[in-house]
Structure 1
Amino acid sequence: MGKIKVENIKIYAHHGCLREEEIVGSQYLVDVTVNANLQEASNSDDLSDTVDYVHINHIVKEEMKLPSRLLEHVGKRIIDRIFKEISIVGKAEVSVSKINPPIGGDVEKVTVILKEKRNV
């Protein structure tokens, strides 16, 4: 087994429960960690034997474009797509952070972290 991390994917998106958040949008950071059997790729040196992090970045960008009220919802969509589209992934962890959330205080960011195992 091995891990592949794609960290600090910066995206401007329109998520939130407030109407203003849907209209104005805000900055987000997304981190993805996947566990997969990387033994074959380590021997073959072939991209088709591993998890293509370009594919992960593409999934994150597409799912972040679709507005959600909750960060939990967009995080779950990202995990579901990873399992659907990348067959060697056995576990996935996604964190979605909203930078400068409108919560009436001096808060750098709020983060939701989801972890799931592939259903066999």
Structure 2
Amino acid sequence: MGIIEIEGMKFYAYHGHFTAEQIVGNNFEVYVRLETECVKAAESDNLEDALNYQAVYETIKEAMQIKSALLENVSKRMLDALYEKFPVIKKATIKISKMNPPMGGEMERVSVTMER
């Protein structure tokens, strides 16, 4: 078993409860942690035996492009897509952070983490 982490993926997207958030958009950061079998890829040194990080990134990018009111919804969509496209995933954790959220005070980010 191995763990693959993709950290600091940055996107501009239109997620949020407020209408202005869905029009103006905001910066988001995504982290994914995937547990999968890595022994075959480690031995063969062949991408076909590995979980393709680029394909994982593209799956997350596609999910970020669909507007949602809640980060929980975006997270679920990502998890659904990852498990559908990559059956070798044993466990996945997704963390989505909205940078500088419009919550009436100064804060760096608000985040939602979900795992399956």
TM-score of Structure 1 vs Structure 2, range by shorter chain: over 0.9
What's the counterpart of residue 38 of structure 1? 38
Give the alignment's TM-score, normalised by structure 2: 0.98
Identity in percent? 38
What's the counterpart of residue 11 of structure 2? 11
What's the counterpart of residue 75 of structure 2? 75
Q: How many residues align?
A: 116
Name the SS for the 1:114 alignment partner. strand
- In structure 2, what residue type is equivalent to 1:58? E
Task: Name stretches of at least 5 consecutive residues in structure 1 with no aligned partner.
Answer: none
Deviations 1:79-98 (A, max 9, x none): 11110001211100000000
Tell me, in whole angstroms, the C-alpha distance in 1 between the residues paired with 2:46 and 2:76. Answer: 29
Name the SS for the 2:76 alignment partner. helix
Deviations 1:31-88 (A, max 9, x none): 0110001010000111111111101110111000000000010011111111000121
Tell me, in whole angstroms, the C-alpha distance in 2 between the residues paired with 1:92 and 1:19. Answer: 31
Task: Name stretches of at least 5 consecutive residues in structure 2 with no aligned partner.
Answer: none
Give the alignment's TM-score, normalised by structure 1: 0.95
Give the root-mean-square deviation of aligned CA atoms.
0.5
What's the counterpart of residue 59 of structure 1? 59
